[in-house]
Amino acid sequence: MPVYINKSEFTASTGKMYYMWRKKAGRTVVIYLGNRSMDFLEFMDNIKNNCEGLKEIRITSKKSAFIEREIRGYLEGKSKEINLKVEFMTGTKFQKKIWQKLNLVSYGQTISYRKLADMAGYRGAWRPAGSALKSNPVLLAVPCHRVVKSDGSPGRFKGGRKLKKLLLELEKSG
């Protein structure tokens, strides 16, 4: 039985956003959210070729007003939460644990790479934790922009340093 995944894009206050989603148990579930077309295309190829247990994946173009409304509300400072259910269809056990623990970092708060690794039970694995964030398939919904260097400087971000600084300022002022 095929698995249907929807893909779309929209323009937000920060620029173009790309996303993939599907309905699961009657809920909208986000599989991918990002701001770079090359990452989006790479993720789509990865999903098609590497999802164990899914025999056939069909990707169709279809928008989700719900997802777009949630992202726009957050980026415009109207909402402090992105109420999206996330499904990790890619990633190692380590990466998924890092991403899950990152969801415990509240709006307006930051955490160091070292502290995030410790929270996930991987004491001292701050570099691998940083690498896991580079593979985060759902920017904003899994708030990797809230992870900073131990000295408080922003560090890198899959969505770009400019966007990371903007998101940190948005949360700081909100």
Amino acid at 18: Y
Is 11 strand, coil or helix?
strand
Reduced 3-state DSSP string for 62-80: CCCHHHHHHHHHHHCCCCC
Structure token pair of residue 105: 């970092």
Q: Parallel, antiparallel, or unpaired for β 147-148 and 111-112? A: parallel
Rounded to an integer, what distance in angstroms lies between the CA atom of residue 54 and that of residue 66?
26
Residue numbers annotated as active site: 144
